[in-house]
Amino acid sequence: MALRRCWRFAGVVPRLILNSTVVPGASVPRGRSFVSNPVNTHPGCKTTELVLRRFSSGPPSTDVSYDELKQLLAGRKSVVMDVREPWELREYGFIPGSINVPLGQVNTALQLAPEDFKEKYGGEMPHPTDNIVFTCLAGVRSKKALNTAASLGYNDVQHYPGGWQDWVKNEQHK
């Protein structure tokens, strides 16, 4: 019986999201598909697009270019976290001003007390409202760290997709 009730709601919820003419509490006729028309039928109305964007899991723009990262570092407007392993930083180098928090430790590091974070990683613990830019060697691990931080409630998270490789290339040209 409980399963039947769940299936009944499967028809109502998507219609509420996708069709602005559905009245909350309205019942769905039996045998009807739960998404009958995914396109909003009201001319000139963009309600569907706005509602669906509200449910997206990440911020609108998560990529930071080399020039943007340089500006953020110069203005001290964000926390830059390098998620590579410490030996990689020693061997290849690091972006000045970044804090090293290896990818495997990002989840627990962002849940530490601020004093514990500072003691372990040597930098200020970012607040959930602070801008955080994750970086790594080539952008793969930084994207994973971004997703981890977003799942922990950090709202303004980005990553530098070029990573250390792009940083070195750009620094050599200047």
Annotated catalytic residue, options 79, 109, 133, 136: 136
Q: Which residues, 6 or more positions from 63, have their beta carbon under 8 angstroms from its beta carbon?
A: 158, 159, 160, 161
Per the annotation, the verdict on 136 as an active-site residue is yes
Q: What's the Rg (C-alpha) of the chain?
A: 22
Where does the chain have alpha helices with state H? 2-18, 47-54, 66-74, 86-92, 106-109, 114-121, 140-151, 163-173
Rounded Cα distance between 69 and 133, Å, is 8
Neighbours of 166 (CB within 10 A): 18
Q: For residue 89, how many C-alpha atoms fall within 13 Å in the half-sphere facing its CB?
A: 17
Catalytic residues: 136
